[in-house]
Chains A and B, each alone.
Chain A
Amino acid sequence: MEPVLLRARGIEGSRTLASYRSRGGYDGLRRALELGPEEVTKEVINSELRGRGGAGFPTGRKWTFVPKDHPGPKYLVCNADESEPGTFKDREIIEYDPHLVLEGVAIAAYAIGAHTAYIYIRGEFVRWARILEEAIAEARREGLLGPDVLGSGYALDVWVHRGAGAYICGEETALLESLEGKRGFPRLKPPFPAVVGAFGKPTVVNNVETLACLPSILTRGAAWFASIGRPRNTGPKLFCVSGHVQRPGVYELPLGVTFRDIIYEHCGGIRGGRTLKAFFPGGSSAPVLTAAEVDVKADFDACAEAGTMLGSGGVIVLDDTVDMVEAAANLAHFYAHESCGQCTPCREGSDWTVDILERILAGHGRPEDPETILRICRFASQGMTICPLGDAFALPISSLLKKFRSEFDERIAAATPAPQKKYPVLPWAGPRPGFGR
């Protein structure tokens, strides 16, 4: 497949506006301004583009939820808070083609009628925030952004907002809170951001990759986009393959390719001639798939059928050297550390799971531990929390536990009882006569 999102990778000076223009840059925006907002939305709906951030919600449909006749401002927020473990696709796009993102932002903002767009970029992406700033300045100078976009009279300002490094701020409502300068706590929904979003105004939050798809949809047409991949799962997708493969990295492949193709064909198989044990199909928040499930198609619907999710497309490959108990402990530690602390099940449950798993790792597991963890996971997921972080923590850990139960049981079978905690003895008390005997 010819690259769409990564076509600038490897081109010298691809970040400059001149280079982007030589590749047909900003034609999509020009076409969008000719079509008008309704037609643009219709085109995106026809392309069956689904959000690339993780949930896979149809992008065009999301735009239509914004009230049309809303007085006052609306906002577009580009979610570049790429914090899902195993995901590094947005950075790649921004690194080589920042104007692709800006054009996508401009098209989406035009479609929903926003005159202000924010790019919320994670705090650690200092270099990429700077790249975006430079690109925005360049685009403004050339009249591609600003008070009069391409002489059409449409005004658009784009601002880069750097986050402070919290995983939870990738969740759209927490992102909006953080954008407003508050603590990154996810909001209770409804109302959804499309109705009450940033600063209380209708807001659409789209992922970088989603927005980067828009220019080519407009220049080459919805039908072309829909021809890539499978029905309802259309378009190119970036897969970030990490872990024990020969050639880890970002791969642009059509949706619907199998994980076998991704791992064995594109990434050259498992490192060091070892065998595949398991892999996370869409970042660490997606339930794990075993080597037997490697023929699952990498798209939204097929993953959902397999009981997992495509998520952000971060494929984490684990070979047979990986200890699944340690993997679970590692995951649990991340989610306990990143839990915002609002909802009881996630806050208490994630920390509790860490304690149990660390005890198992220390060689003091107990036979009832796996059931306790499964119970915690059951009641921390499926709508027990405000935001999906409860699911993100509970589902992969419970999947590891269910699919690799024997590893946990072996550890526990070999465990010794935890040493009795030594309580300080009061030096002046001694044995107390006649009390508690």
Chain B
Amino acid sequence: MPKLTIDGRDVEVAPGTNLIEAARLVGVEIPYFCYHPYLSIVGQCRICMVEIEGQPRLAIACATPASDGMVVRSATSERVKEAREAVMEFLLANHPLDCPVCDQAGECLLQDHSMSEQRARFSTHMTETRRTFPGLERRLLGPHIVQNQNRCIHCSRCIRFTQEISETSQLTYKARGNSAYIDTFDGRPFDDPFSGCAADVCPVGALTLREFRFRKRAWKLRSTPSICPGCSIGCNVWIDHHERIVYRFTPRENPQINATWLCDYGRFLAESLNTHGPHRPESREPGRAPSPDETIRAVALELKAARTLRVVASANLSNEELYLARELFTGHLRGEIVVPVWPGEPRRMKNGSRKWLTSTDAHPNAAGARRLGLEVVDEEGLARFLYGAADLTVILDPFAHPFLATPEALQLLRVGPTLLFTNRDHAIGEFARWVLATASLACNEGTFVAGSGVVQRFQAAFTPPPGALPLWRLLALLARDTGLARVPLATPRDIFEHMARSENSFSGLAWDELGGLDTTSYREHQHVG
């Protein structure tokens, strides 16, 4: 374990750690543009220069492994300051001064560094005409990526991403020297399944996301840690939202699962979090529209009255919701419950040690349903389940399986009374006796079990819009009204802790220590992922 001193602070690091990471451990910020913790090191940008005692030349911190007894000076060295100032001057010589209209402003490494570290009296010596790339200022590189080559600082992060992580090698440099520009390898569209990450890794506004561009300034966004609902891999994401509108997902660092990547499919699911179902509970019963409380009471009465009850749960629900549903419908009431699982399209993700993870199904929590001992069925099993007769059918999530939207399923469901919980319009809602509005994942809180078996927590980004409630809350209200007293119902935390005590498969887990919630990660502030 090499011990070294960085800016007068002693640090002991694992062998092979580079100076940027070592400095990070003691809170010394070494700036960088081309370095990325999950990409190979090229040492191109030269901003991470540090002074190492005993070496005549400045060294680049990204490519210098920490060694025992090293004395490193970064912010405390006048030479380093001067060199970094010069590198910034070089970088800004041809970088357009369009921060006010650049969509990256606020999360731009170049902007951050020039604001924070440059001495106020410093100004550029550059008086020549800027180099520009006519025709490459606003170019659609692929379905999701817009390129502005004028802003590019030639860090090659996007190129290395497509070579090393997504393995499509679609991006490359063309031309040479100061005229070099980023292009797709043979001019074909940049249709990489991970293309959004190219905009993520871009330290400046050269590559931006077509879907997010100009929708919201970066500094207005609030980020809430969550889990991507797209498949069983369980990538960690930030929900970036402002005033109760979700604008985008950005990857949240987790070396075991998604490093700092996110596939395009998952990334653009963010938009689906903005629908919070029909905004008031509806009833097909004649007479006046009932108030929410009345609806819950009426539904509770109906649930209690039903002699046979069948419940279609979903692998999109959190462990708390599934547990509560199990306790309520099969433990307390006389019901049967199944969890349909749809294989969906295969998805994959590369983790921090560059291993591919593959999805088993299209749900974030099928593993959790299995852990809770719920009956997991495929399309055929679901159809068989719906063929059976029951006094009342409860659909906890109509998007649990595409089969539920087929004419066959609708025909089967039309036969008896249906209670539907949904956050979006669905064909079942047109004939269901009760429709209760649930809130989307952005308003929900709970845990998912990823395909790899790790239990990960997600948080609520904002409170649900009026009329909608998270499913766990609705189930808790029903449990209260039907007289289920065993389970504490106040928060998902209470439910989880009860579950951890009573379920063997969740024993030993503590709510506060669950994986996927390391929100204090320093790297996020450098917009690495």
Contact = CB atoms under 8 A, between A and B. Distances in A.
Interface of A: 166, 183, 188, 336-345, 347-352, 355-356, 359, 366, 368, 372, 375-376, 378-379, 382-386
Interface stretch (B173-181, B199-207, B325-333, B458-466): B173-181
Contact of A359 (B47, B58, B128, B156): B128
B93 A348 contact: yes
A345 B87 contact: yes
A337 B176 CA distance: 8
A332 to B, nearest CB: 12
Contacts of A345: 46, 86-87, 90
A352 B128 contact: yes
Given A342-B42, A344-B87, A352-B93, A383 B176 contact: no
Interface in B396-439: none
B44 A342 contact: yes
B9 interface: no
A350 B178 contact: yes
Contact of A341 (B45, B63, B125, B176): B176
B154 interface: yes
Contacts of B63: 188
B178 A336 contact: yes
Contacts of A383: 57-59
Interface residues of B, number: 36
Given A344-B153, A355-B128, A188 B41 contact: yes
Nearest to B82: A379
B295 interface: no
B377 to A, nearest CB: 51
20 contacts: A188-B41, A188-B42, A338-B176, A339-B176, A341-B177, A341-B178, A341-B180, A344-B91, A344-B153, A345-B90, A348-B178, A350-B178, A351-B178, A355-B128, A359-B128, A366-B127, A368-B125, A375-B125, A378-B86, A383-B58
Contact of A351 (B44, B58, B131): B131
Contact of B176 (A166, A368, A372, A385): A166
Q: Which 7 A-B pairs have the closest CB atoms?
A: A383-B57, A379-B86, A341-B180, A339-B177, A351-B178, A355-B128, A348-B90
Contacts of B180: 341, 347
A183 B129 CA distance: 29
Interface string B25-63: 000000000000000011111110100000001110001
B510 interface: no
Contacts of B177: 336-341, 347, 350-351
B358 interface: no
B83 interface: yes
A344 B43 contact: no
A356 B58 contact: no
Contacts, number: 96
B198 to A, nearest CB: 19
B90 A344 contact: yes
B364 to A, nearest CB: 40
Nearest to B156: A342
Contact of A349 (B49, B90, B129): B90
Contact of B83 (A183, A348, A352, A384): A384
A350 B176 CA distance: 12
Contacts of B154: 341-342, 344, 347
A352 B94 CA distance: 9
Given A341-B179, A383-B58, 20 more contacts: A183-B172, A183-B173, A188-B63, A337-B177, A338-B177, A339-B178, A340-B177, A341-B154, A342-B154, A344-B153, A345-B87, A347-B90, A351-B178, A352-B126, A366-B127, A376-B90, A379-B83, A379-B87, A384-B49, A385-B46
B60 to A, nearest CB: 8
Contacts of A375: 86, 125
A374 to B, nearest CB: 11
Contacts of B42: 188, 342
Nearest to B179: A341
A339 B173 CA distance: 13
Nearest to A338: B177
Contacts of A352: 90, 93, 126, 128
Contacts of A385: 46
Contact of A372 (B49, B125, B179): B125
A379 B80 CA distance: 11
A383 B46 CA distance: 10
A166 B177 CA distance: 11
Interface string B136-165: 000000000000000001101000000000
A336 B93 CA distance: 15
B173 A341 contact: yes
Contacts of A368: 125
A212 to B, nearest CB: 31
A247 to B, nearest CB: 36
B57 A343 contact: no
B169 to A, nearest CB: 11
Given A341-B173, A375-B125, A384 B178 contact: no
A366 B127 CA distance: 10
